[in-house]
Amino acid sequence: MKKYSQTSSVIEDFSKLPFWQKYAVVDLIYVGYGLLIVALVLLSYILGMFNWLPHDPQQINMDMLMAPPATADYLLGTDFMGRDILSRLIMGIQAYFLPGLLAISISLSGGILLGVVAGYRGGTIETIITYFTNLVDSFPRLVLILLVIAAFKPDIYYIMVVMGITGVPAVATAIANKIRFLAQKNFIEAAIALGLRTRVIIVKHILWYNCRALLIIQATLGMGEAILLETSLSYLGFGVQEPEPSWGNMVQSGANYFLQGNFWPSTAPALAILFTILGFNLLGDGLNNILEDKRDK
Amino acid sequence: MNQPLLKIENLRTYFYSRSKHSFVRAVDGVSLEVGQRETVGVVGESGSGKSITAMSVMGLISTGPGVIGGSIHFASARVQKNLLEGLHKCVKVEEQDGRVMAVSKDERGWQKTAERLMRDLRGKEIAMIFQNPRASLNPYITVGEQITEAVRLHTANKSVREARERAVYWLERVKIDSPRLRFNSYPSALSGGMCQRAMIAMALSSEPSLLIADEPTTGLDATIQSKIVDLMEELKSETGISTLLISHDISVISRLSDRVAVMYGGAVVEYGPAQRVLDMGAATKHPYTAALLASVPSAQQIRDKANLQAIEGDVLDTINVPPGCRFYARCNQVTPAVREKCATHQPELQEVAPGHQMRCWRYAVPA
Amino acid sequence: MKQISVILVLALSLLGASFGASQAAESRNAARPTGGTLNYGEYGRPATLDPITSNEMISMRISELLFNGLVGINERQDVVPELAQSWDASKDGRVYTFYLRKDVTWHAREGEAAVPFTANDVVFTYNIMMHPKTITPLKVRFEFIEKAEKVDDYTVRFTLKRPVLNALAKFSFKIIPRHGPKNPLYLTRDDPFVQQPIGTGPYMLKNITADREIVMVANEKYFKGRPSIDQFVTKPFADQNILTQALTFNAIDMIVLVNPRSIAEIQGDKRFILQPYNALSYSFFGYNLRNPLLEDKRVRQAFGYAINRQEMLGSFFNGQGTIISGPFAPGSWAYNLDVQPLSYDPKKAIALLNEAGFKQGTDGIMQKGGKKLELTLMVPIEKESEAVKRVVLAFQNYLKNVGVAVKVEFKEWQSWKEDVFAEHRFDIVFASWVFDDSADISSLFHSAEIGPWKNNFGAYSNPEVDSLIVQSKLTLDHEKRRTINRKLHALLASEAPYTFLWTLTNYSAYHKKVQHVAIHPYKFFSYADEWYIPVTAQKK
Amino acid sequence: MLMPPKEIILNIIKELFIVMLLLLGVSFVVFGILYAAPGDQFSVLLEGQLPTAQARQEIREAMGGAQGWYGQYFSWLLNVLSGNFGTSVRTGLPVAGELLTVSLNTLYLTLGSMLVTLLVAVPIALYSSVRGHSVAISWPLTMLGYVISALPVFWLGYIAIYISIHGFDFFPLASMSRTPGENDWLYTLVPVLVLGLGSGTISEVIRNLREEMSRVMAEDYVRTARAKGASVWRHAFKEGLLLPVTQIIAAKIPFILGGAVIVEQVFNWPGMGRMAWQAAQDRDFPVIMGIVLVAAAFVRLGSLIQHIVCTAVNPQGARD
């Protein structure tokens, strides 16, 4: 049974409707959860920055190796060096925050530039850009990173630059398509007819009004990818290096004891990763549906 | 006494706007009849619910809540049934002073029964052609194959070769030049007019007893339009197939239909023999019909360059249907005598002459 | 943990020899069932398989199965005949003549007849080993040989530059066939031979799979008699955790070197035997004396006092090892037991640093003349060996407590080697040496060994040490030499060019079905031809 | 149905040309990275010797002193084109031969995992495209898809191993060169599953497919199909399923290959990924460069296939 119901017998002004009635509940839950996660991430970033932590994440405690959760005052237990997992989790964000932002900003700025040029100019430039994106897309990210590591050194920033660049095509194509779509709708001609300057059209009308949803989504997804990528690299030994905590190298070092049935040290950070990335993805989904309001169609 | 082939009674098809959180009363209590070998034209502005009516008959309404009431009796030589048989079980409508407040619908159940009811009718008994023929043909399959499919699905010709022959025959019937060549071409390679011909061929190829033509000429340019209409006229006289013709184009309607229903805001406001309803000079005339007719240039008007009156005001907002006459807001023939009634009470569809019904207080015979 | 191997001839072993002297081949095999396959797991994948170019332990172990030396060293450190059935040395100890077995043939390449082993092969091996273009860690260890000549097909004469103690044992290097390498002059890794070697050993290389999984089959014509087990298969693993699981799930029958953290798990399992063996190796923190901060030996000593070896050994290697005080592996006769390992004494450490002129700064970091005591510790990246991580992190922690800031820098293996050995871009390294002659440390601390790709990477130079090293090399009398080495030990212990940590007890784990297992401390597979699997356990 | 083969052939040729062009670009990028690397990697690479100081010196002499980057690039490129990827610094083996066997193993793994991804994602996507998002079954399934692809792949692998050991009492060690027979496929099953589920593609395939499907379901021609009583699926199949699936798979190959690197480590799968890792450890440039090239070739091959399917299904550009 699916129920449709009308709130009042006559609705004069729909904009007066409270927002939770305008959109599907699922989306609102998604976005809510996503925002919560984002807030948590920011919070722990700040906590880490000022070192407001239950313990010093570097403090080694040799008589308390791999303590289970809630032993002594270690809320989430300790890792293989007897360091407080909770503090390291919070601190771990530091490893991603700036590098992640770097990666995102690279792929966004690059993507926007290429996308706008391709979509707006078209012609030969567009084909050239298409070839470029295809070229970048030809590299399996992880393998490329291994090459870079071998050539230079396992440094999170190098890795994130590579990730940023490999992220460009997705953004570029998305934006280009959007612009083409708008062009079909004679949106751009109209704007030109209004005598708007190209810059204004692109920045305000195309990017801001029509692409922000898309960009936000790309950004959130990018953060998630950054975390997963670093985790994979940590497993290969090329991620953020000890003693700096990162969720990746926490899962990795914890996983050494996983098969011996000592799950916790790797599960804690793994769950952190899971919930965070889930949050980012759902945020993306929800925003997408709400801003484009998909569900109503 | 031949009973009507199709008898729609008090059909109600609603939609639900999630963002506006209220019902769109697309079709609100429509009753129609299509007799054997008869063509009934349904005319009205866009948004008047005429297409939705057609879709409801076909059971093609997929967005909720969709059809929530009424009955559609279909009686051909082979099949007699109510196309909404037993569906009321799946819907629960809560009303409050004549206005639907809530609908709870068992979508799955509805779908199941509807599919079962329609299985041996769609395409076989009732065929449909749509507006925008290009998009209505599958771009990935050749025209010929699409027609052949229909033939094999619904006629005795099961073998592929027979079916193909049949398809070619129908392509000839609809006057597509060099049909054998067209047979193998994809819709993208055909002009809009040809696509529509192909659609018609496909619809007729299964030899249905009722043809629903939903805006068959819209989106085609004028010359093509008239050609299509010619074709339909011809086929009608040849096959004598009964047709429910939906169009906003009065000229098309007037050329093809025996009877005409004028729809406004999801309801039929006038219903009767074509020549009477579409006759400008007729004494009894529904204000809306009059307005519609006035908005179409007649040969006379074109000659003495008279300027046309468009209908003032906007199409009815089918979400907030006013309590009174649906057309009241735009009506220019309200007399002080009836104004108060028009504003507050919905007029009934009443017979003003044999076989000619009207929904207007001016012609309401006091009961 | 990855090990830099300094391979100096004369293997010296203590444990491992769990059975008596080997009887004559024939009688032996009568007793043992033949057949069965032994899959053993290695962490990592072998590079080259020949005894000359290979430079990591996995390959070493394999070449032990494929090749023989002129002589071997048995569990009681006696030199025993291998390819040479007898030998004699000149009075002045500068000429050694070996009389070779006549019944030895090289593994036959398919389609070819087995070529007999002759003096030519021995001479060939020596020459190719010493050729300048040949890249091999062995070269440095045979500089004492002047020349090798063939007397007749089954007699070889080696002339030494100078008499050397225990020279005979040094002739246990593996002999390769003259018809082996494509290039008769020198051997590089491009030569197909390094991947498809043929030898005289108990097992012959059958094939190498895509995954560098190496299948070796019994050499029917082995001159000591056919080995009991039909097949040895080396299975390389990329993940140590999985390696252990593979053993417990009988995907493999033996792990050569058990990861410390898995020991407990395997100990609990009745199906397996956990066999300790002492691999004459030790771990240490090595200092780069090119850095002025580290010049003063008091600073280095301070580091020694600052760290708690006992605690680390206890909680990271569950006590499987012995703490050491000097440059010799404790197994060695050269090891000086009178020298006590430094105790854990942070106060003393701080005191020493102050002595050296360092004062605690406001940030708690020691400094001298405005220069902070901040050092980089270079560590090679290894995926799962968090044993390494643990030690270096603990080290960092200990030194923090005495006001020394240590920055840990992880590098992938190759660039680590380049930084440490070629570029000398480091302050401290954590590493371990593996010896097979614990008495010869010349290449580690002699000032002549300073330079790119030489072993004295810390550039430690001390005339006294140099002379002691030379003396010990030249002395022929064992007792004298012993005392010299004891001096050396004491001296280096106090000089502290390294902070000496411990030697770990290595554990090998294998399935009970494998019988009569004796493990050679360094070469590991020396006695593999006598291992066997009872017929009942041979299925699959 | 099918377009005349001649056109297809021409199309393929054109595409092949583009592929070549892109691969050339790839090779250049790879070279560039290596060239920018500190130290003179290239001499090492061309010679395939141990990267010791004197070895490099010798090589530089051998190459006739200072040779510009272009010289090095072309000499390398020519080698590669003639199938000579150089010899591994570590093992001294010719890289080409190794790559062949190893890349095949990776191919099996990747294809298998794609199959898994589709088997899981397509039903979910179709179901939720027909029934809508909020239905009690499709929603959790979609969620599950998200959750799994938000987990670190190697950790997922450990879980899988732990479960198969303690739950099903068998050890999913994928060592391809095990003695044949004894249900090998069973051993390869687990890694394939893990990669298929864990590579993060599932949720995207679901999302993408769902949208495409529901879009096509709303198309006029599908309505026509219903109206004439024909099978909706038959009509929606090509645009709603075939095209998007090939498209997304082609687009996802790089990610899947990336995941393969990890899975191969965990399950000891003798593929390119493991090799790449080893090579990165040892700075074994000939190997890792070869791997990058082959991987890129895989990616391009995927999109080539997709293109062919697209043209075959979608004649005369009926839709674009």
Q: Do strands B242-247 and B210-214 pair parallel, antiparallel, or not at all (unpaired)?
A: parallel
Distance (Å, whole) CA C472 – CA C484: 6
Separation in Å, CA C446 to CA B45, C432, C440, C468: 103, 18, 11, 9
| Confidence (pLDDT) at B323 | 80
Question: How many residues make up chain D in this entry?
Answer: 320
Nearest to A4 among B64, B97, B99 (CB): B64
Question: Among A54-68, A80-94, D74-88, where is mean pLDDT lowest?
Answer: D74-88
| Confidence (pLDDT) at A295 | 47
Among the listed residues D68, D231, D264, the one whose alpha carbon sits nearest the alpha carbon of residue D154: D264
> Residues with Cβ < 8 Å from C409, sequence gap 6 or more?
A241, C376, C377, C378, C379
C76 pLDDT tier (thresholds 50, 70, 90):
low
B99 pLDDT tier (thresholds 50, 70, 90):
confident
pLDDT reading at C3 higher than 90: no
D265 interaction partners in chain C (CB closer than 8 Å): 238-239, 383
Cβ-Cβ pairs closer than 8 A, C with D, add up to: 102
| Confidence (pLDDT) at C306 | 94
Nearest to B150 among D220, D226, D228 (CB): D228
> Is C393–A253 a contact, with Cβ atoms under 8 angstroms apart?
no
CB C119 within 8 A of CB C89: no
Which is more confident, B297 or C115? C115
Nearest to B138 among D229, D235, D316 (CB): D235
Please state, for a pLDDT cut of 90, what percent of chain D lies above it.
9
C-B interface (Cβ pairs under 8 Å ≥ 3): no
C381 interaction partners in chain A (CB closer than 8 Å): 154, 237-238, 241
| Confidence (pLDDT) at C57 | 82
Which is more confident, D184 or B48? B48
Specify the CATH superfamily of domain B6-125+208-363.
P-loop containing nucleotide triphosphate hydrolases (3.40.50.300)
Task: Please indicate if any CB of chain D lies within 8 Å of the CB of C241.
Answer: yes
> Residues with Cβ < 8 Å from D128, sequence gap 6 or more?
D135, D138, D139, D141, D142, D206, D210
A138 interaction partners in chain D (CB closer than 8 Å): 22-23, 25-26, 254, 296, 299-300
The chain B residue lying nearest A24, using CA atoms, is: B18
Cβ-Cβ pairs closer than 8 A, A with B, add up to: 61
C190 pLDDT tier (thresholds 50, 70, 90):
confident
D238 interaction partners in chain B (CB closer than 8 Å): 140
CATH tag for D95-319 (out of 3.40.50.12140, 3.40.50.170, 1.10.3720.10, 3.40.1410.10): 1.10.3720.10
**pLDDT per residue over C161-183, tens digit each?**
888 777 888 898 999 999 989 88
Question: What's the whole-number mean pLDDT along residues C361-377?
Answer: 88
**B114's tokens:** 């509807």
Among the listed residues B269, B265, B264, B289, the one whose alpha carbon sits nearest the alpha carbon of residue B278: B289
Mean pLDDT rounded to a whole number for chain A:
85
Distance (Å, whole) CA A53 – CA C473: 58
Q: How many other C-beta atoms are found inside a 10 Å radius of the C-beta of residue A102?
A: 17
Distance (Å, whole) CA C447 – CA C450: 6
Question: Among A252-266, B259-273, C342-356, where is mean pLDDT lowest?
Answer: A252-266
pLDDT reading at A218 higher than 70: yes
Distance (Å, whole) CA C392 – CA C380: 11
SS (H, E, C) C328-396: CCCCCCCCCCCCCCCCCCHHHHHHHHHHCCCEECCCCCEEECCEECEEEEEEECCCCCHHHHHHHHHHH
| Confidence (pLDDT) at D39 | 67
pLDDT reading at D2 higher than 60: no
Question: What's the whole-number mean pLDDT along residues D128-145?
Answer: 69
Query: For residue C84, how many C-alpha atoms fall within 13 Å in the half-sphere facing its CB?
Result: 28
Question: What's the whole-number mean pLDDT along residues D9-34?
Answer: 88
pLDDT reading at D317 higher than 60: no
> Is A143–D147 a contact, with Cβ atoms under 8 angstroms apart?
no
Check the CA dihedral C59-C62-C64-C69 and report its sign: negative
C117 pLDDT tier (thresholds 50, 70, 90):
very high
Among the listed residues A223, A237, A228, the one whose alpha carbon sits nearest the alpha carbon of residue A283: A223
B100 interaction partners in chain A (CB closer than 8 Å): 6
CB C2 within 8 A of CB C502: no
CA distance D102 to chain C (A): 6
Q: Do strands B267-273 and B356-358 pair parallel, antiparallel, or not at all (unpaired)?
A: antiparallel
Helices (H), C74-177: 119-130
Please state, for a pLDDT cut of 90, what percent of chain C lies above it.
39
| Confidence (pLDDT) at A291 | 74
CA distance D46 to chain C (A): 12
Q: To which residue do tokens 């050491």 refer?
A: C324
> Is C412–A238 a contact, with Cβ atoms under 8 angstroms apart?
yes
- What ipTM was assigned to the predicted interfaces of this complex? 0.79
**pLDDT per residue over C310-331, tens digit each?**
999 988 888 888 899 988 877 7
What residue spans define the domains of chain D?
18-81, 95-319
D133 pLDDT tier (thresholds 50, 70, 90):
low
A222 pLDDT tier (thresholds 50, 70, 90):
confident
Distance (Å, whole) CA B330 – CA C536: 102
**pLDDT per residue over D192-210, tens digit each?**
988 988 877 787 788 788 8
pLDDT reading at C10 higher than 50: no
| Confidence (pLDDT) at D300 | 92
CATH of domain A24-291: 1.10.3720.10
Please state, for a pLDDT cut of 90, what percent of chain A lies above it.
29
C123 pLDDT tier (thresholds 50, 70, 90):
very high
pLDDT reading at A56 higher than 50: yes
What residue spans define the domains of chain A?
24-291
| Confidence (pLDDT) at C25 | 39
CA distance A25 to chain C (A): 45
pLDDT reading at C30 higher than 60: no
Helices (H), chain D: 5-36, 41-47, 53-62, 69-81, 95-131, 138-149, 153-166, 184-198, 201-217, 220-227, 232-237, 243-267, 272-282, 285-313
> Is A5–B106 a contact, with Cβ atoms under 8 angstroms apart?
no
Q: How many other C-beta atoms are found inside a 10 Å radius of the C-beta of residue C486?
A: 19
> Prior bond to B65 cis, omega within 30?
yes
Task: Please indicate if any CB of chain A lies within 8 Å of the CB of B101.
Answer: yes
> Is A258–C262 a contact, with Cβ atoms under 8 angstroms apart?
no
CB B19 within 8 A of CB A296: yes
> Is D227–B202 a contact, with Cβ atoms under 8 angstroms apart?
no
Distance (Å, whole) CA A221 – CA D129: 23
pLDDT reading at C6 higher than 60: no
Nearest to A3 among B20, B22, B104 (CB): B104
Which is more confident, B303 or D21? D21
Question: What's the whole-number mean pLDDT along residues D40-65?
Answer: 52
Separation in Å, CA B198 to CA B142, B172, B225, C134: 11, 10, 14, 82
Question: What's the whole-number mean pLDDT along residues C39-45?
Answer: 88
D135 pLDDT tier (thresholds 50, 70, 90):
low
